[in-house]
Chain A
Amino acid sequence: MTANTLENPPLLRLRGVSKSFGPVRALVGVDLDVPAGAVTALAGDNGAGKSTLIKCIAGIHPVDAGEILWDGSPVSLRGPADSAALGIQTVYQDLALCDNLDIVQNMFLGRERLRRGQLDDVAMEQAATRTLADLAVTTVTSVRQSVASLSGGQRQSVAIAKAVLWESRLVVMDEPTAALGVAQTAMVLELVRTLANRGHAVLLVTHNVPNLLDVADRVAVMRQGRVVDARERARIDQRILVDLMTTGSTDREVA
């Protein structure tokens, strides 16, 4: 499956993307391809530029230089609404959901279904329930419960379900398993795989090397604001990944 999906043209392509904050050069000529139907993992040490890069993709930071190609056409992302309109959904570690709203309200936030100008809560509740069931998210007992009462894993599940519901073409995930226990991590990684298998492009940012190797189809490694290497999962292992993260190059081959 992996080999097949990699033959498709990438859904998102960054070419020479740079971003500076005052004198700090956070991104220096970044090239990155994110194909549909695959999990692209973005690895790198603290301060390598991963967060800045996903914020550029999410439309939060406008890029200083370089091109962002969506389906092969150049786009400019001037705000989160621009990215959302293209079909990019970013799942932030803590900021993916509004705590004061319930699950249904969160899943439809910004794209509420209306009937004669009025919120169609019944339809939204049914669609949300269907999507969660479809993804085999069974730990959530009621879609009308407040998001504040959910566990970390449930929150990530809801955020992923939202991406499916909105038919987001690219789902960017920032450390989705950072605060989770073993079982919940497995559940979320399973959902990440499901997303890719259903044809969504997934860009996964994580520090967790074993998780990353578990779930990724492709791995891009960042160091000092550059993407220093991007290769298929089959051509990388833990030692190679650590080499790339710490020195930017490697002379090892997968054993």
Chain B
Amino acid sequence: MESATRARTPVATSWDHLLRNPLVGPLVALVVAVVVFSLVTDTFLRPGNLALVLQQSAVIGILAVAQTLVILTAGIDLSVGAVAVLGTIVLAKVGGTEGAAVGLLVTVAVLALIGLLNGVLVAGLHLPPFIVTLGMFTAVFAATQLYAGSATYPVEPGLLTWFGTKVQLGGLVISTGVLAMLALYLVAWFVLTQTAAGRHLYALGGAPEAARLTGIRSGRVLVLVYLTAGLIAVLAAWAALGRIPNADPNAYQNANLETITAVVIGGTSLFGGRGSVMGTLVGTLIVAVLRNGLTQAGVDNLYQNIATGALVIAAVALDQVSRRRAQT
């Protein structure tokens, strides 16, 4: 390292350092976006609008934690959004007839089972996560339609809408759903960076063979990751009912892609083993700020999609460059 550092110019070294820190790029992008929208619109910086940005990002932000865990293992979860939508219907239907607590328990059971099934198929049968979760997405989406019978299910205010409760935080009035999202990020950050399980997850994602040969029980970690993704989807479903107290089988149809977008923009590598969950939080906020800011600036929804798409590709390109640099 020392000789390699000497051989390079200081400028190249500091560039390397910048590119290798996974949080710096996304944070800079977030700050730039906030500054730009504050300058070009009068409305963006208003507390009410900032609170809205946070509330709009809560459900996707929660699901993006699950997506981060899966992507860090060099996998991908195309089903997590559809699973959360199924969760909202189960919560609303079972919760409506049997009471909110029973509804929550049944939802936990159903979504845990789906996550477990994903995990066993990926880890036990060594099937590609892309295929497993694509199949799961298709099946769960159809099952949701059958179960919901193309109807929507409003929920009574109470435990199931608890994540819609407003709290005053400084000058901001935000929902408990936003706080739940932030708490989930803290927990995930702690597990990933401060526990052995988290370290094993990085190891098996970045170097599966070496991790296995070291004696890491990769299969067990993988199953736990997909199971956790299912459980996180319960929280997302619950938070979704807090935001809009009406379970709709056709809601959140792009949630899968939006979580992947947040993860990638947040600097986590699709090749696994590199990235951070806090990057994903920043990625989620970048997308939310971009959409909100462009709306405030009067830009059409479709142009917003183009901007988001370009951002994803740029993020992946940056990841490739930094990987290549890390290898030389």
Chain B contacts of A117 at CB under 8 A? 195
Contact in complex: A146, B206 (CB < 8 Å): no
Contact B215 A84 (CB under 8 A): yes
Judge whether B196 is part of the interface by a CB distance below 8 angstroms. Answer: yes
- Interface code A81-105, partner B: CB below 8 Å = 1, 0 otherwise? 1011100001010011111110001
Cβ-defined contact, A99 with B207, below 8 A: yes
**Number of residue pairs across A and B with beta carbons under 8 Å?**
83
User: Is B254 positioned at the interface, with any CB of A under 8 Å from its CB?
Assistant: no
Question: Which residues of B have CB within 8 Å of A98?
Answer: 202-203, 206-207, 210-211, 214, 273
Contact B274 A100 (CB under 8 A): yes
Considering the chains assembled together, what is the distance between the CA atoms of A85 and B214 in angstroms? 11
In this complex, what residue of A is CB-closest to B203?
A: A98
- With A84-B214, A98-B206, A100-B206 known as contacts, the answer to whether A142 contacts B274 (CB < 8 A) is no
A95 to B216, CA, bound (A): 13
Interfacial chain B residues near A146, Cβ < 8 Å: 326
Scan residues 246-274 of chain B and give those whose CB is less than 8 A from a CB of chain A: 273-274
Q: Are B206 and A119 in contact (CB under 8 A)?
A: no
Flag whether A145 is at the interface (Cβ < 8 A): yes
Interface flag for B300 (CB, 8 Å): no
Question: Shortest Cβ distance from B68 into chain A, in angstroms?
Answer: 15
C-alpha spacing A100/B201, complex, angstroms: 11
A101 to B274: give the CA distance in the assembly, Å: 9
Asked if B156 lies at the interface with its beta carbon under 8 angstroms from chain A, I say no
Taking residues whose C-beta sits less than 8 angstroms from the other chain, chain B's interface range is: 20 to 34
Whether B195 lies near A80 (C-beta < 8 A) is no
- Cα separation A192 to B213 with both chains bound (whole Å): 20
User: Is A148 a contact partner of B1 (Cβ separation < 8 A)?
Assistant: no
A141 contacts the other chain (CB 8 A): yes
Contact A58 B213 (CB under 8 A): yes
Q: Is the interface of A mostly helix, strand, loop or mixed?
A: loop
Q: Tell whether, in the assembled complex, residue B4 and residue A149 are in contact, meaning their CB atoms are under 8 Å apart.
A: yes
What is the minimal beta-carbon distance from A90 to any residue of chain B, in angstroms?
A: 7
Whether A114 is near chain B, meaning CB under 8 Å from some CB there, is yes
Closest to B206 in A: A100
Chain B residues with CB under 8 A of A112: 196, 199
- Looking at the assembled complex, report how far the CB atom of B6 sits from the nearest CB atom of chain A, in whole angstroms: 11
Asked whether A114 lies within 8 Å of B196 as measured between CB atoms, the reply is: yes
19 extra interface residue pairs, beta carbon distance < 8 Å, beyond A58-B213, A101-B199: A79-B215, A80-B213, A81-B217, A85-B215, A95-B209, A95-B210, A98-B203, A98-B214, A99-B210, A100-B206, A100-B273, A100-B274, A105-B199, A110-B214, A119-B195, A119-B199, A145-B1, A146-B326, A149-B4
Show 11 residue pairs from A and B whose CB-CB distance is below 8 angstroms, ordered by the A residue. A79-B215, A80-B212, A98-B202, A98-B210, A101-B203, A101-B206, A110-B214, A112-B199, A118-B194, A141-B2, A145-B1
- Interface pairs A-B: 10 shortest CB-CB: A100-B206, A84-B215, A98-B207, A100-B273, A112-B196, A81-B215, A141-B2, A95-B210, A98-B203, A80-B215
